[in-house]
Amino acid sequence: MAVTAYSLVRMHNLFAVVMLSGIYSLLAAVIYVVMDAVDVAFTEAAVGAGISTVLMLGTLALTTSMEKDAKMFSPLPLVIVTVTGALLIYATLDMPPYGDPTAPIHHHVAPHYIEKSAHEVGPPNIVTSILASYRGYDTLGETTVIFTAAAGVMALIGRSRRRKKKSDKSMPVEDS
Amino acid sequence: MLNQTSILRVISKLLIPPIMLFGLYVQFHGDFGPGGGFQAGVIFASAFILYALIFGVDNARKAAPAWLTRLMLASGVLLFGGVGVVSSLMGGGYLNYSVLANDVHAGQHLGITLIEFGVGLTVAGAMITIFLIFDGLLRAEEED
């Protein structure tokens, strides 16, 4: 994964970058499977490696497949990224080790879900019970976000095509 | 697009129906195994996009015209919100499915199945719509 990430950054051919990010998503899905989060792995493989690769390729077809050369080296982004990364790594030092049963996250609502969901909701898959029933509002919000995303794409570039056709003769579209 | 390659055509012809079937399985089996509406919608949309890539977007547009995908997109969210409204009208809180049927489990099951279906519809509709819009934009640029 680290090798993939490094070559992602160094690569200039955006087509290869899209392919590598698909590979990166597949590797992430494998890690989720190893951590027993099958639902997350499923989503990562389908969305990260599948759909988003196709959409990125579509974007490349619309724009260009070679990265523009960076004109000058600016130190500010590098500083921000390094400081943020260092802070995040520093924060992980305080986190309990993976799978630690005494971690705070396992003592809030998780025991209630695990013990009661079969009785209160029913489905054997606790993830589904939490997503759809206990956290129904969140899932409704997520669905609305997806709807808004598609509506936004429609509003931004779905209509420009029609407008272009209408204004073809009166106003030539700048295209070089 | 890639319609000259007979290997791709044959293989994808074999693959698309199982992919769609698997999407439906993930959709309606999400209570018992991994999966749910979101994953199912993406899998279903990817089968559609595979068809569009191999057999041409025009054929795909015939199978799922723009009004259909937009209808899917909106009706999924409406179904989700509608289940919530119905459950609050039937005496429970918003999105409390226990009141949807006589039994708590049956009501929860019905509610979860419905909203997962809504999520699946919206996700599949959104992915296909975005893909078709990209294609439309690409074509508009080629025409210029």
pLDDT tens, A131-167? 777 777 888 888 889 889 888 888 887 765 555 554 4
Domain boundaries, chain B: 6-143
Where exactly are the structural domains of chain A?
1-67
Q: How far is CA A56 from the centre of its chain?
A: 13
CB spacing of B39 vs A158 below 8 angstroms: no
Q: State the ipTM, two decimals.
A: 0.78
Cβ of B126 within 8 Å of Cβ of A132? The answer is: no
Q: What is the DSSP letter of B93?
A: -
Question: Cβ A54–B38 below 8 Å, yes or no?
Answer: no
Q: Nearest-CA distance from A81 to chain B in Å?
A: 32
CB contacts, 8 Å: B31 with chain A: 122-125, 128
d(CA B111, nearest CA chain A) in Å: 8
**The one-letter amino acid at B26:** V
Per-residue pLDDT of chain B (144 residues; tens, 9 = 90+): 555 678 888 888 899 999 999 888 888 877 777 777 788 888 888 888 888 888 888 888 888 888 888 888 888 888 888 888 888 887 777 777 777 777 777 777 788 888 888 888 998 888 888 888 888 887 777 776
pLDDT-derived band at A82, boundaries 50, 70, 90: very high
By Cβ distance, the residue of A55, A61, A149 closest to B138 is A61
Give the burial class of A136: count Cβ atoms within 10 A of its Cβ; 0-12 exposed, 13-18 middle, 19 or more buried.
buried
Which is higher by pLDDT, A127 or B71? B71
Measure the CA–CA gap between B60 and B99, rounded to whole angstroms. Answer: 41
Q: Structure pTM? A: 0.76
Tokens describing residue A63: 């724009």
